[in-house]
Amino acid sequence: MSAAPTVATLLRDATGRLADALALDRSEARIEARALLAHALKVDHAWLIAHDRDTPAPALRHAIESLIVRRAGGEPVAYIIGEREFFGLNFVVGPAVLIPRPDTELLVEAALQRLPEHPSCRILDLGTGSGAIAIALARRCPSAEVVAVDVSADALAIAQANARRLGAANLHCMAGDWYAGLGIKKFDLIVSNPPYIASADPHLSAGDLRFEPLQALASGDDGLRDIRRIVAGAPAHLADQGWLLLEHGFEQAGAVVELLQQHGFEQTCTLRDLAGLNRVSGGRWPNQPNRQARPGLGAGPAG
């Protein structure tokens, strides 16, 4: 009768299986296997190292096997364990929302650099999903009024739950199709990570994207349908000198900047992510004489 496998053995075997099934390099497969083992055993990574010679009980080994099978079938690790780290915060995620990605942290950093100096600024996050962008900004700017909009009720429920868990009391979630429902409210900053993949792009049926919500990924024949709507509607909701910042595909920067300029934005720019790819573009709305003063938002705690 063979000895029960140790934590180290289970980790080694899971790493090999994931590397083979998903064509991952060994280091990436090991990171994923470690996350799945830690989740199944309800421990942290340090425990796995300190207890690598322990032999988990059969029920725990069965739980580990179940998670490995799911991941080997392509299901994203974030959906399996139900959370993902973003901007130093742990967010609950599920199939109703996109998985927050490190590239999107560039959008948060760009937003923080362009916020006005007055502490009571107003921020709008369009298509908030899990609330990752909005909550990261709300946490860094606790005196700001942050409004997070999404058309999906399931996504808003996750965003609200994340706001409560992470103490973003200055975040207000609203249901709506982009600007619908905002009336004439104006903001100092509008940010969005909208759908920007062309609807016929083969990547939508590969990898993690197969499991993520299609309405949060695909946007018309060229991937720019929703970006066009956001850019066109932004002037009515931006305060003078307010910024609009958008995440997009790395090949879309020129088209997005052209859209911004066509709609009257100034100081247009494109920023590159850590891989050196064009990832975020934006522009500043100029001063407009004789505009009405901004109405109050009446934003309260999330939920």
Would you state the pLDDT for residue 18? Answer: 96
- Share the mean pLDDT of the chain: 91
**pLDDT tens digits for 195-243?**
999 888 888 887 888 888 888 988 889 999 999 999 999 999 999 999 9
Residue 302 banded pLDDT, cuts 50, 70, 90: very low
Answer yes or no: is pLDDT of 88 > 70: yes
Give the domain 96-284 fold.
Rossmann fold (3.40.50)
pTM of the model: 0.88
Nearest to 144 by CA among 234, 265, 286, 242: 242
Residue 2 banded pLDDT, cuts 50, 70, 90: low
Region 1-19: mean pLDDT is 91
Answer yes or no: is pLDDT of 296 > 80: no
Answer yes or no: is pLDDT of 183 > 50: yes
Would you state the pLDDT for residue 300? Answer: 38
Would you state the pLDDT for residue 301? Answer: 35
* In contact, 285 and 234? CB cutoff 8 Å: yes
Would you state the pLDDT for residue 289? Answer: 66
DSSP 5-73: PPHHHHHHHHHHHHHHHHT--HHHHHHHHHHHHHHHHT--HHHHHHTTT----HHHHHHHHHHHHHHHT
**pLDDT tens digits for 25-47?**
999 999 999 999 999 999 999 99
Longest dimension (CA), the chain: 85
Each as own residue / partner, the long-range contacts of residues 75-80 (CB below 8 Å, 24 or more positions apart, any chain) are 75/211, 76/208, 76/211, 76/212, 77/32, 77/35, 77/36, 79/211, 80/36, 80/39
Would you state the pLDDT for residue 162? Answer: 97
Would you state the pLDDT for residue 210? Answer: 87
Which position has the higher pLDDT, 203 or 107? 107
Which position has the higher pLDDT, 96 or 293? 96
- Scanning the chain, the segments in alpha helix (DSSP H) are 7-22, 26-41, 45-50, 58-72, 77-81, 105-114, 132-140, 153-166, 225-233, 253-262
Region 76-89: mean pLDDT is 95
Region 266-294: mean pLDDT is 85
Q: In whole angstroms, what is the distance from residue 266 CA to residue 285 CA?
A: 6
Domain edges within the chain: 7-74, 96-284
